[in-house]
Amino acid sequence: MFDNLLGSFWPYTIDGLILGAIYGLVALGYTMVYGVLRLINFAHSEVFMIGTMAAAFVVMTMGITQPLTGFALVGGLLLMVLAGGLASAGSAALLERIAYRPLRKRGASRLAALISAIGASLFLQELFALVIIPHVFNRPQQGRNQMGVARIMQKDVLFTIGGAQIRIDQVIIFAASILMMILLDLLVNRTKIGRAIRATSQDPETAVLMGVDIDKVVRATFLIGGLMAGVAGALFVLQFEVTKFSIGFLLGIKAFTAAVLGGIGNIRGALVGGMFLGLIENYGAGIFGSGWKDVIAFTVLVLVLMFRPTGILGESLQQARA
């Protein structure tokens, strides 16, 4: 049973870390919104999906027929990341303005916000399946099909570790994820808006008395979480070269699992949880077969909620210190 895993330990490890890096970036959106509003934003998975669509649209618009090189490649990658990040950030901000803020202003229960999130998620899926993909991507009658994306770069092997080939795209994805995590950590802990986010997370009423604009903080939280999901979407397209109207559903649940695993509300824990979940998934696939990957992810979620609901790190956003 373990022979397959032991024989390909390093390839499973590398693939797990790359997938986990994407999980971690998406998980940051879940953990930040929960840290500020105590709300699980289940529409965040569609924010990620919008990021993949924006990145795919850039590749399609560029008319790529063969992998790019040199400055053209650098420009193409930056455009993908920029388009994915901006599209997702904008959609997250719009989602907050339409689906959540009216409920928050009326003092609605968290259950109402949860139902609104589920409704917004389904609406965005159907919007892309019925309108965006057939008309914007010019793929009529294919709105619900998986959509391939042209390869933007040659995935050359840079070096090997224990028999595992490390490709240039994998290095880019891992490095970009770590860089985004560091930038977010600095933003939350070293800037004025970061202090406002932490103050709101710790005590919203006192934060208001101290002059914090709660609406501005909530809007910034959704924008930042959406930006992270959009970057993750662009990196996902770079790695897997596909997208779909429902591509965020399963990955979003796994990213939520990563957030819980690292400690929901913990920014650093989100990335740690993502990496950990990616490794567990891949190791489990090596032992039981690839068909068990999703089962393993949800089993981890149940076990964490049962035995360590605070997650691996357990520190919440409100406890972070500058």
Task: Express each pLDDT in 21-53 by its tens digit.
Answer: 999 999 999 999 998 888 889 999 999 999 999
Give the residue-averaged pLDDT of 115-121: 95
User: Two tokens at 313?
Assistant: 């790190």
Closest CA to 226 of 119, 135, 124: 124
Task: Express each pLDDT in 247-297 by its tens digit.
Answer: 999 999 999 999 999 988 888 899 999 999 999 999 999 998 888 888 988
From CA 271, how far away is CA 148, in angstroms rounded? 28
Is residue 30 within 8 Å of residue 270, measured between CB atoms?
Answer: yes
Which of 109-113, 114-118, 146-150, 176-180 is predicted least confidently?
109-113
From CA 249, how far away is CA 44, in angstroms rounded? 9
Looking at residue 192, its pLDDT comes to 94
Residues 6+ apart with CB under 8 A from 43: 95, 99, 117, 118, 120, 121, 124
In angstroms, the Cα distances linking 188 to 7, 57, 175, 182, 235 are: 42, 31, 20, 10, 23
Looking at residue 321, its pLDDT comes to 40
Helix H or strand E encompassing 159: strand 157-161
Closest CA to 91 of 121, 119, 60: 121
pLDDT band at 174 (very low <50, low <70, confident <90, very high): very high
Looking at residue 301, its pLDDT comes to 85
To the nearest whole number, what is the mean pLDDT of the chain? 91
User: Two tokens at 14?
Assistant: 């590398």
Give the residue-averaged pLDDT of 223-237: 97
User: Two tokens at 156?
Assistant: 């050359």
% of the chain with per-residue pLDDT over 90: 71
Q: Where are the domains of the chain?
A: 24-251
Q: In this model, does residue 309 exceed pLDDT 90?
A: no
Which of 114-118, 127-131, 265-269 is predicted least confidently?
265-269
The residue to which tokens 């399963």 are assigned: 250
Looking at residue 315, its pLDDT comes to 54
Full-model pTM: 0.93
Looking at residue 316, its pLDDT comes to 53
Looking at residue 272, its pLDDT comes to 92
Task: Express each pLDDT in 73-106 by its tens digit.
Answer: 999 999 999 999 999 999 999 999 999 999 988 9
Looking at residue 322, its pLDDT comes to 37
